[in-house]
Structure 1
Amino acid sequence: MTTDVKDLGGNSLAGVFNLSFTTGVIVDITKPTILSTNPEDNATNVARNKVISVTFSESMSAASFTATSFILVQGANPVTGSIEYGNKTVRFIPNSILDASLSYTATVTTGVKDLAGNALANTKAWTFTTGSEAGQAVVNLRKSGDYVILAKTAINNAPTSAITGDLGLSPAATSFITGLSLTDATGYATSAQVTGKVYAADMASPTSTNLTTAVENMITAYNDAAGRPTPDFSELGTGNIGGMTLEAGLYKWTNTVTIPSDVTISGSADDVWIFQIAENLTVSTDVKITLTGGAQAKNIFWQVAGEVVMGATSHFEGNILSMTGITMQTGASLNGRALAQTAVILDANTVTISQ
């Protein structure tokens, strides 16, 4: 403020006055709201393998979703399950199929918060009633589901691939990840070919412990899928499922499964597919798996005791749980996860984690 400023008597300001300040960030004080629940309040005939989900108005803190902030009960009995969060939607996955023809209550408390720490304005509770159909429950991947690619012995890549999601390797070390031109950071590495982080067992704590848990969870999930009883379809096509449309259910083969021509997986967003394959799974060159009717890759599980090979420029949907290796030939793409108890081999592939 200059000396041109005067009081009512015409006297100038004694001297120039300077004031400085620094702006800060815009503080987020808006509380998140719930846009929708699935199932909706008072829904009836809900599938017993239902995953309970809630969609919010903004991105939320994944850490705020706990066993006390997202709750499912039947009467006074709590239902155990795991919680997953992504893309503004939290999912509660029951550990077992819900009982038939009973009323359940789901609750999201004000313990859930957005990224700025703003709590949900009000606790939300809603009820639904199950139907009589059991269906298949999803295979709970637990911490292995945090990775788009998880392997035990090696991840080898022939550039250039485009991978969306985190990669994990354990108990093998970083040197067994090749072709990704890694840049080291503390506890992880990055790559221009990966939208996400790359982890290996020899990286700084707590990476090794986290990977050990993820690999154990991967094996548990494999055993869960392999142990599901009473298949809806046995030895379908004697192992050749090319050209078929596959509805939801449990499939079982005691031999190799081949996909020589395009396959359609058809069902609703809540349907679950589990494929039990005792030998290898082979997808021919340029063959595509297509989802219709709302079917989601995250609810599709391929349990393969042998090797999985995806032919060049083929496209695959679902979570692969392989006891041995997974090989993606040149230009093949995957929407799902590649979880292998040995190695994952890539060759200029597009791999995207399913949410």
Structure 2
Amino acid sequence: MKTKNLLFTFAILLIALISGCASDDFQETIGVCPVVESTSPISNAVGVSVDKVITVTFNTEMDPATITQSSITLTGTNSVAGTVTYSGKTASFTPSSPLLENTTYTGRVKTLVKDVMGNALQTDYVWAFTTGLILRPIVISTDPINNATDVALNKIITATFSMPMNPSTLNGTSYTVKQGANPVAGTIAYTGSMVSFTPTNPLQANTTYTVTITTDAKNTLGTALGANYVWTFKTGVNPIVTATDPVNNATGVNLLKTVTADFNIPMDPSSINATTFTLRQGTTSIAGIVSYSGLTASFDPTASLQPGLVYTATITTNAKSTIGIPLANNYVWNFTTTVNPPVVVQPSQVNLGSAAMFGAFGGNAGITNQGLNTVINGSIGTTAASTLVTGFHDATAIYTETPLNVGDVKGKIYTAPPAPGTQTSFDIAKQGLLDANAAYLSISPASKPGGTDPGAGELGGLTLAPGVYKSASGTFKISNGNLTLDAQGDPNATWIFQTASGLTVGVAGPNGAKSVIMKNGALPKNVFWYVGSAATINGAGGGIMVGTIIANAGVTFSTPGNAAQTVLNGRAISLIASVTMVNTTINVPGN
């Protein structure tokens, strides 16, 4: 009997050894060892979801007490924290946070697990899988773009996503605009794939803002941005007034002055108007026309200003730049008008005599033309010999023209002999010179005293009433803009400009030409220039000069090589030197 018991025990052990499984307690029933039948994901799976719950299914019921975080593990770049549960024959490992994208993980079931009979897994079960890439939403564009500058103060800030988003995830927590650490109040809206932030109040000028869309923003499938999306922008600067004409506290201002203000940046023309740009004398508003061009706003009074009074000009904060940014404060300046209005001259006081028919007169030195497009709508003359008239022809004769120098005189050419000059034409030229000298003296400071110098020798940019104007320094120039002559509706309005030395119109460069503008009935026949030495008219070519220029020592129009046509609505008379011109049109005024 004892031998039979020993044989039975040996048989049981042999069965256990053959099955690869042994019980911890020979008193228990010995069964087959547990094995892992399947896993999810399977071994070597790819593209696994990052929110995957990892499962292990056994061939038999397991002891739940042995299914723990110690016996079932998951490792990627580091150990993965998670919760282990067991149901039926399946153990589940739920990661505490989503797995990383595009990462290989290793699952391990250790021999610590046992079935309900106490039989242990004989070797660790190990398998691996790789997660996939998630199709996450991304921000594909913003407005303003990152690091944008000169952003308008009323800007609606937008971001466009690569796919439709869940509107409920785009809110004041996930989409913020800040100035430094201070949040900006605003309203958030979403349509299509675009989210917008409309600030409650205008943004501040010259200020940097930071916009953030956090990972709380999710698409319609609940997938979040991979990381916070952050960008910055800077608003534009406030426009400022850089210069005014007249300057602040100026005195002796012309009664026909057009008041101007220059800005540092382009302005919205619609914001420069009679409401934002005003002129007052005390509490009385001055009527005028407001305009804007380039960087300059202009206020042109409808009527003449009054002498000896203080005027106040104001540009308000409703004047805005092209991107809607206003002046930071009202800009206010004052000026005082002259107490000595210009001397009024009657046309009858200036008599040109026979010199009136000449568009150009070269004293005793001649007249020269260079260019193919010179036209004199009148006559020309000189007391010099005909050989000193070059580059011209009239209806009867040619005066030393070349293929490159052709001047068309619509009237007649008067010179001394030799032919085509004659004694008769010489006599006419001599009388013309005598009459020109007499007119020169009649408009001199000695004959017409009391002239003023409203621009300190600079006539550009001025608007002048009829009268006598005398350069205090001895020279006049028109270089800072055009000169405007305002007749105020009087067809007999007359201007006399006196300079002891030179007259220069225009500056160098392709856009250097300057002009004389006539308005409100002003006529070229009533404008006279007394020039003590020489006059140079638009050396760069182009421009429109007006009036009868009587210069002691020559008149020059344009320079060789200039194709732009230079125009004189008047006369160019030199007493002792020549008149030279390049592609010039002279229109002699009627009586």
Sort the TM-score into its range (normalised by shorter chain). 0.5 to 0.7
Change over 3 Å in CA distance of 1:183–1:248 after alignment to 2: closer
Q: How does the TM-score come out when normalised to structure 1?
A: 0.58
Q: Quick one: which amino acid aligns to residue 381 of structure 2? A: G
Q: Quick one: which amino acid aligns to residue 573 of structure 2? A: L
* SS at structure 1 position matched to 2:448: coil
The corresponding residue for 1:142 is: 353
Change over 3 Å in CA distance of 1:159–1:194 after alignment to 2: same
* SS at structure 2 position matched to 1:238: coil
The corresponding residue for 2:477 is: 258
1:224 lines up with 2:442 in the alignment: yes
Q: Which of 555, 578, 589 matches 1:343?
A: 578
1:322 lines up with 2:551 in the alignment: yes
Q: Quick one: which amino acid aligns to residue 392 of structure 2? A: L
Q: Quick one: which amino acid aligns to residue 550 of structure 2? A: L
What are the superposed Cα offsets for residues 44-79 of structure 1, whole Å, 9 maximum, x if unpaired?
xxxxxxxxxxxxxxxxxxxxxxxxxxxxxxxxxxxx
Superposed, 1:243-282 pairs within 5 Å as: 243-253=461-471, 254-260=473-479, 261-267=481-487, 268-282=490-504
Superposed, 1:55-66 pairs within 5 Å as: none
Q: Which of 377, 389, 393 matches 1:164?
A: 377
1:176 lines up with 2:176 in the alignment: no
- Give the whole-Å Cα distance in 2 for the aligned partners of 1:286 and 1:228: 32
What are the superposed Cα offsets for residues 121-171 of structure 1, whole Å, 9 maximum, x if unpaired?
xxxxxxxxxxxxx9313310001111111112020100221111011111x
Change over 3 Å in CA distance of 1:205–1:237 after alignment to 2: same
Q: Quick one: which amino acid aligns to residue 379 of structure 2? A: D
Identical counterparts, % of pairs: 27
Higher relative contact order (CA 8 A, sep 6+): 1
Shift in Å at residue 192 of structure 1? 6.2
Q: Which of 528, 532, 545 matches 1:305?
A: 532
1:236 lines up with 2:475 in the alignment: no
* SS at structure 1 position matched to 2:345: coil
What are the superposed Cα offsets for residues 206-241 of structure 1, whole Å, 9 maximum, x if unpaired?
2121111110110111011113333242x3211011
Q: Which of 180, 183, 199 matches 2:414?
A: 199
Q: Which consecutive residues of structure 1, in runs of 5 or more, have no partner in the other structure?
A: 1-133
CA contact (8 A) 2:415 2:426 kept: yes
Change over 3 Å in CA distance of 1:185–1:177 after alignment to 2: closer
Q: Quick one: which amino acid aligns to residue 371 of structure 2? A: P
Q: Quick one: which amino acid aligns to residue 354 of structure 1? A: P
* SS at structure 1 position matched to 2:346: coil
Shift in Å at residue 314 of structure 1? 1.8
- Give the whole-Å Cα distance in 1 for the aligned partners of 2:387 and 2:394: 10
- Give the whole-Å Cα distance in 2 for the aligned partners of 1:305 and 1:324: 7
Q: How does the TM-score come out when normalised to structure 2?
A: 0.36
How many matched pairs? 220
CA contact (8 A) 2:358 2:381 kept: yes
Q: Quick one: which amino acid aligns to residue 578 of structure 2? A: A
Q: Quick one: which amino acid aligns to residue 340 of structure 1? A: S
Change over 3 Å in CA distance of 1:182–1:210 after alignment to 2: closer
What are the superposed Cα offsets for residues 253-302 of structure 1, whole Å, 9 maximum, x if unpaired?
14211101111111021111111111111111321111001111101100
Q: Which of 568, 586, 591 matches 1:334?
A: 568
CA contact (8 A) 2:392 2:400 kept: no
Q: Quick one: which amino acid aligns to residue 256 of structure 1? A: T
CA contact (8 A) 1:189 1:199 kept: no
Shift in Å at residue 325 of structure 1? 0.8
Shift in Å at residue 185 of structure 1? 5.0
Q: Quick one: which amino acid aligns to residue 177 of structure 1? A: V
Superposed, 1:26-41 pairs within 5 Å as: none
Shift in Å at residue 205 of structure 1? 3.4
Change over 3 Å in CA distance of 1:238–1:137 after alignment to 2: same
CA contact (8 A) 1:259 1:282 kept: yes
Change over 3 Å in CA distance of 1:192–1:149 after alignment to 2: closer
* SS at structure 2 position matched to 1:208: helix
